[in-house]
Structure 1
Amino acid sequence: MKVNVNEIKPGYVIAYKDRLWTLVKGEHVKPGKGPAYLQAELKCLTDGTKLNQRFNTSETVEQVHLDKENYQFLYEEDDRLVFMNQENFEQVALPRSLIGEAARFLQEGMVVKVQTFEGRPLSVELPETVVLEVTQTEPTLKGQTAAASYKPALLSNGTRIMVPPHIETGVRVVVNTREGTYVERAKD
């Protein structure tokens, strides 16, 4: 669907130069001389490259709508992650690179959203947070809790994060999957 560049917002997916791009940032500029334009920061959905592009405000671009489907993570095989479609139970093996660093937070049975375009998977979106157990951390020193300090902790999936001093070994914590940071103590 063709849309004017004034209508696209961050998160929109467009077809440009025979590739699919998502708009990361867009700034409308009206210089003192010359026509107004949109200074856009685009990210390629297939290989992750970035592109800074200037679009004239009179231009149109092809907006693309991606399909989002729920898939369940089954297991890892070599450098591929195997998922099962929740509707038709079809299995698909995706490269680990499609998820990137967030793959370390995948847990067996976890439901993720897979974005596809014309049946081809483009990206995998994990839940915003996961609950993991702290398997190793330093003991709290007396008086250390008065300052807003953090200490390193090793989680059950092998990831190292910084946690508040009151968190001990064996405690379950909520972790942000996008940033890999401590959110709060798990309420269970």
Structure 2
Amino acid sequence: MPFINATQVRAGMIVNFEGELCRVISVEHQTPGNLPARVVVKMKRLKDGINRENRFGSADKVDKASLEQHMLEYLYEDGDHLVFMNNETYEQMEINKDVLGDDLVFLQPNMQCEIEFYEGTPLSITVPGNVVLEILETDPVMKNANATGSYKPAKLENGITVGVPPYMESGERIRVNTVDRTFMERVK
């Protein structure tokens, strides 16, 4: 497995810490006065979801898990599983919904998703950075509304609510950032 310096660890990475695969939640670089610099890493153990925290010296090595990444096309939902297809081999694969987590609301048929595997086991699914969704419900358009800094809530077709400019109305389609779940732009 490849080793990297503790200063190269980033949130979202999967590391092999004490023989356990963990997803890095946050990284904080600390330089406490005249003491040596250190890196505080908060991580979540993948097998049971338990949070851990460890301090590394800035010169320490961290075991970055060797993951395979594949772009697969989402086809459909089958009970507790999601069915994906490799567009090169046409092989279909079922992956438990839990692997996707909260981003399940953004999944759409034919969407290309990046899936990380460790020794053949899927560890994470990443949806594209933005999706186009329709506004189902929002407050009426305000007279003389323009794109000011104030937003109003809008319920989207996937069930989530985001803030949209006051001139937006039900039935319009918008682009939503899937990372922070915010309005990006109107789609014509």
TM-score (norm 2): 0.84
Which ranges of structure 1 fall in alignment gaps of 5 or more residues? none
Which residue identity does 2:87 align to in structure 1? Q
Note the aligned Cα RMSD (angstroms).
2.4
Task: State the partner residue of 1:53.
Answer: 54
Task: State the partner residue of 2:10.
Answer: 10
Distance 1:97 1:119 in 2: 17
CA contact (8 A) 1:5 1:55 kept: no
**CA displacement 1:62-82 (0-9 Å, x = unmatched):** 222311101111111222211
Task: State the partner residue of 1:167.
Answer: 168
Q: Which moved more, 1:78-87 or 1:173-182?
A: 78-87
Q: CA deviation at 1:101?
A: 1.4
Could you say if the C-alpha distance between residues 133 and 4 of structure 1 is closer, same or farther in structure 2, counting changes exceeding 3 Å? closer
Matches within 5 A, 1:117-136: 117-136=118-137
CA contact (8 A) 1:134 1:172 kept: yes
Could you say what secondary structure the match of 2:10 adopts? coil
Q: CA deviation at 1:143?
A: 4.5
Task: State the partner residue of 1:95.
Answer: 96
Distance 2:186 2:48 in 1: 36
Could you say if the C-alpha distance between residues 184 and 115 of structure 1 is closer, same or farther in structure 2, counting changes exceeding 3 Å? same
Task: State the partner residue of 1:157.
Answer: 158
Could you say what secondary structure the match of 2:150 adopts? coil
Task: State the partner residue of 1:148.
Answer: 149
Q: 1:114 and 2:135 equivalent?
A: no
Which ranges of structure 2 fall in alignment gaps of 5 or more residues? none
Identity, % of aligned positions = 34
Could you say if the C-alpha distance between residues 55 and 69 of structure 1 is closer, same or farther in structure 2, counting changes exceeding 3 Å? same
Could you say if the C-alpha distance between residues 171 and 30 of structure 1 is closer, same or farther in structure 2, counting changes exceeding 3 Å? same
**CA displacement 1:139-168 (0-9 Å, x = unmatched):** 112245485322222222232222111111
Q: Which moved more, 1:72-81 or 1:18-27?
A: 18-27
CA contact (8 A) 2:147 2:167 kept: no
Q: CA deviation at 1:131?
A: 0.5
Which residue identity does 1:170 align to in structure 2? G
Task: State the partner residue of 1:180.
Answer: 181
CA contact (8 A) 1:2 1:62 kept: yes
Q: CA deviation at 1:5?
A: 3.6
Which residue identity does 2:27 align to in structure 1? K
Could you say what secondary structure the match of 2:149 adopts? coil
Q: CA deviation at 1:45?
A: 4.1
Distance 1:41 1:88 in 2: 38
Which residue identity does 2:8 align to in structure 1? I
